[in-house]
Structure 1
């Protein structure tokens, strides 16, 4: 029997649980992430907007747009990886019974399961 673990994000500022996503950003060469509800995401973007409109975007990881959900197989439990493999097989993604899962499979699984935990791109 497969077990699927669901993680529900909680807004780090106000404890809200609806429409919460992880927001990544970088400042002074350090990467940060924070879980925010849609309202707090909008507030953060509004506060940063004057700076972002005058800033230069850089190539590379810090210059790419942040994703709400991201993942690597290294950040997932054995049970989660097993559940992802079963899901991939049921949904036409070719995966082997062992080894690393492709980013395409992980992204497709995350898109189909918005409450599953993920890490940064």
Structure 2
């Protein structure tokens, strides 16, 4: 996925205000925001998931994983929950419990990261 962040305002002021420390802090803040978005998404998925034994819901709610700087993943243990994807597309009442939160996150990511970058400058 390609993400574009726009910086508005005076470019000279921006150039004078850039420092390695500030860039490092912005990267850390963006990483934190990505983590929050990932956790929000997994929580929405878990809340929407069908519940029989609770295994599916618990597996999803614990699936946000920080894989490195600016790299967050949603990891599902498909071995313990073999019907994970099938339920997403075929469940009568809880259909798209994964798809809807992921689509919402896709719409939120640019504005949320834009706010973090704008706050720095």
Q: Give the TM-score taking structure 1 as reference length.
A: 0.30
> Which structure is higher in helix share?
2
Q: Give the TM-score taking structure 2 as reference length.
A: 0.30
Highest CA radius of gyration, 1 or 2? 2
